[in-house]
Structure 1
Amino acid sequence: MPKPDIYIGTDSGATTSKTGGIYADGTPISHELRQSSTNSVGGTAAVIAGWVEGVKGFMADNELSWDQVRGVGLALPGPYQDYGILDKSANLPDSFIGWNFLAEYKAALSAEAGRPIHVATGNDGDLGGVGEAHAVRGDRAVGVVLLAPGSGLGCAYVGADGLHLAGDNFAGMEGGHMPAALHLLGNPPVYTCGCGKGWGCIEAYTTISGLPQLLRDTLKRYPDHELAKSDAPEKEKVLSLRTRAQKGDELALDIFDFQAKALGLHAANLIIALDPAYVVIGGGLIDPESTTAEFRQRYLDGIRNAALPYLFPRQREHVQFVPATLGELSQCIGAALVARQTLPVSA
C-alpha cells in the first residue's frame, strides 16, 4: 500500500520554532507539534538548520519519510522586502535584513530530500488565518476573517480559494494598524502604538500592547479599586486583569467589554469591505485553557453585538462570529495548507 502524501508546516517565532503537518486531504498528521529553538543569535544559517531539524524530527516522531513530502510551508513574521525576503524585523537581528530565507530553506530541504522540494511562505498571522479558515468552513468555498488579539492584533482574510490576502506590497490585512472608531467608543485618548502611527491604531485598544494606557484611563473611574492603590509594576497589574475579570472584578470586566466593543466595530469595518461568511476570534481571551466558558461567551457576544448594527441586513443574518479552535496548531497547519494550495501542477 503506498504511503500517503504529506505537507509540512514550519512556524518560526523569534525564540521558538514549531513544526507540524497535514495529509493531502488537509487533516492534521498529529496534534503534537515539534518544538525547537529558533537560535537567531547564531545567524541565518543556524536558523535554517533549526528549521530543517524540526522537519526531520517531526517526520521521525510520526514515522514519515522524505518521499512522502509534497511541499513545505513556512510562517514567518514580516515585514518583507519581497516574497521570501525579510525586511527589518522587530524580533530578529538587523543582520537578517535582506535575507532570502525562502531560497535558503528550499535549498536546504531539497538537499535533505535528494530532490526539489516546493516551499511556500507567508506572514505568520496570515497563515494562522488559513489554518483557522480551513477548520471552520469545512467544504464551503467562502471567505473568512481572523482577528486574534494577543500582544498585538493578528488579522487575516482568507478567500474562497483558501489563500490569504497578502497584498501587492506584502502588507495585506495589516488591519491592526487601521484607526479605531474612537467616536463610537466614547472618544478615548489617541493611544500610542508600536508602529509609530498617530491616528489611534485599533491594536492599541484591543490587545495587551495597549492595556497599560487603557488601565490608566479606566482607573480614573475606579479610584477606590485595589489596582489604583497598588505599588505593583504596571506589567503585573495588566497581566492580572484576565484573572480578575473571570472572578467578576468590575474594573477588569469593564476593560475587556471595552476591548470587545472596539474589536466588534473593527470587525464591522472589515465585514463591510470583505463580506466574509465567518469572523473567527482568536487570542488569549478566547483560549479555553485560560478562560471560563462564561467569560468567553461574554467577550464573543460583546464583539458580535458591537458589529451587528453597522452591517447590511443580509450580513447581520448570515455572518457568523465563532471562536478559533486550532490554538498553537493554526500557523503550522496554515503553512502546510498554503504549500498544498500553491503546489505547481507539474510537481
Structure 2
Amino acid sequence: MSATRSVFIGTDSGATTSKVGAVWDDGTTVSTRLLQHPTNSQEGPAAVVRGWVEAVDSFLAQQQVDWDRVQGVGLAIPGPFRRYGVLDRSANLPGSFAGFDVHTAYATALSEKAGRPVPVTVGNDGDLGGVGEAQRVRGSGTGSVVMLAPGSGLGCAYIDGRGLPLSGDSLAGMEGGHMPSPLQVLGVPAYPCGCGRTWGCVEVYTTLAGLPHLLGAKLEEHPDHELARSDRPMKERAFALRGLAQKGDELALSIFGFQARALGLHVANLAMALDPSYVVIGGGLMDPEATSDEFRSRYLQVVRESAAPFLFPSQRAGMSIVPATLGDLSQAIGAALVALYRSRA
C-alpha cells in the first residue's frame, strides 16, 4: 500500500545535529528510528543546507521511498526570525546565519534534488515539536494543546484544533519561557535571565539555565553537601543534579521539586489565556533514558498539584497534564505534519 502513498518530510535543525522524520499523507509516522546528521553550522549556511538534503536523501533510501513521492518538507529551526523564513541573530548559530533566507535556500536545494518544485514550510523548532506531540496526545480529537519542554531553556508551544502552532504576527508567539514568574508565590528573588530581562523569567526557575542560581541558594542551607565542598564552577555542579536526583539525593530532589512547582504555576498562568485540553511536559527530565519512572512520576505530580488551585473548576476537571512521548523525534515529526497540514489548506 505504501508504494503509492505520498510522503512529507520533516527536518529538525539544531546547532550541532539535524534530525529527519516523515509522515505519510494520512499523518501516520513513516519511521520511529532516529536519523541524525551533523549540522556543520561552523561551515556556513550553504554547507548546512547541503547537509539537510543529504540527510533527507539518506532517509528516503533507508525507507525505499523515491523523491517523486515527496510532496512537501517542513523545517524546524531555532528562532528568532526577521521575517518568515529569514533568520535573525541566534545565540546558537554563527553570525553568518543572521539574515539568511533559509526558506528560499532549502526550497531551491530540494527542488534541484527532486527535479521539480518541493513546497517548504519553516517554523520555530519548539512550536513544531508541540505539533508532533499534540497529534500523539489527542489522536483524532481537536482539543488544543500546550507543550512545555524544560531543557537548556524552556520550549513552549500552543497547538490549535487544526494542529497548527500559534506563531504570532512577528513569529515570536508563545515565548512563554520569558514571561515573569509569580515570585511572591515562589518566595524567591528575581534572578537575571540570559535574554536580558530581570523580572524573573519563568525559564530561570524551571530549566538548566537557572539551576546555578537555585543550587547556590540551596547550598547555603546545606554546607556539608558534596556539591558545597566542590571547587568546580557552580554551572558544572548544577549539571550533576539530575544524576544525584536519580540516586535519591534530597537536595537535588528538592530543587527539581521547586522547578516542578514553578512549572505548575506557569501551566495555570497559561491556562488563563489559552484554556487547553492538554498540557504536554517534555524535555530531558521526561526522557525515560535519563530519569527514573519514580522521578518522572513525582515531577509530574508536583506540576499537577501546583497548577490545580489556580485553575477554574472546569479546567481542573477537564485538563490533562501528561508526559511527552516522541522524544528527540518530536520536532522532525511536527515539521513533517505542518507540511502535510499546509498542503491540505
TM range (shorter): over 0.9
Amino acid paired to 2:44: G
Cα distance in structure 2, aligned partners of 1:12 and 1:72: 13
Residue equivalent to 2:210: 210
1:91-148 deviation line (CA, Å, top 9, x unaligned): 2122211111101111111111111111101000000000000111000111000000
Q: How far off is 1:344 after superposition?
A: 5.8
Residue equivalent to 1:263: 263
Q: Is 2:282–2:324's contact at 8 Å kept on the other side of the alignment?
A: yes
State TM-score, norm by structure 2: 0.97
State TM-score, norm by structure 1: 0.97
Q: How far off is 1:27 after superposition?
A: 1.6
Q: Is 2:216–2:234's contact at 8 Å kept on the other side of the alignment?
A: no
Q: After the TM superposition, which residues 61-72 of structure 1 pair with which residues of structure 2 at under 5 Å, given as runs?
A: 61-72=62-73
Residue equivalent to 1:9: 10
1:149-195 deviation line (CA, Å, top 9, x unaligned): 00000000000010000000110000000001111111x12111110
2:343 partner SS: coil
1:146 partner SS: strand
1:278-335 deviation line (CA, Å, top 9, x unaligned): 0000011111111111110100000010001000000000000000000011000000
Residue equivalent to 2:343: 343
Q: How far off is 1:221 after superposition?
A: 1.8
Cα distance in structure 2, aligned partners of 1:47 and 1:241: 34
Q: Is 2:211–2:235's contact at 8 Å kept on the other side of the alignment?
A: no
Deviating runs (4+, > 3 A) in structure 1? Answer: none
Q: After the TM superposition, which residues 75-114 of structure 1 pair with which residues of structure 2 at under 5 Å, given as runs?
A: 75-114=76-115
Cα distance in structure 2, aligned partners of 1:285 and 1:41: 29
Residue equivalent to 1:155: 156
Residue equivalent to 1:175: 176
Cα distance in structure 2, aligned partners of 1:95 and 1:293: 43
Amino acid paired to 1:29: V
2:107 partner SS: helix
Amino acid paired to 1:332: A
Cα distance in structure 2, aligned partners of 1:329 and 1:26: 15
Amino acid paired to 1:47: V
Q: How far off is 1:37 after superposition?
A: 1.3
> Is the aligned partner of 1:247 residue 2:247?
yes
Q: How many residues align?
A: 344
CA RMSD in angstroms comes to: 1.1
Residue equivalent to 1:311: 311
Q: How far off is 1:46 after superposition?
A: 0.8
Structure 2 stretches lacking a partner, 5+ long: none
Q: Is 1:33–1:58's contact at 8 Å kept on the other side of the alignment?
A: no
Amino acid paired to 1:171: A
Cα distance in structure 2, aligned partners of 1:111 and 1:228: 57
Residue equivalent to 1:33: 34
Amino acid paired to 1:181: P
Residue equivalent to 2:129: 128
Residue equivalent to 1:231: 231
Q: How far off is 1:34 after superposition?
A: 2.2
Cα distance in structure 2, aligned partners of 1:171 and 1:290: 30
Q: How far off is 1:33 after superposition?
A: 2.5
Select between 286-295 and 203-212 the one with higher mean Cα deviation.
Answer: 286-295
Q: How far off is 1:236 after superposition?
A: 3.1
Cα distance in structure 1, aligned partners of 2:68 and 2:296: 43
Cα distance in structure 2, aligned partners of 1:344 and 1:338: 10
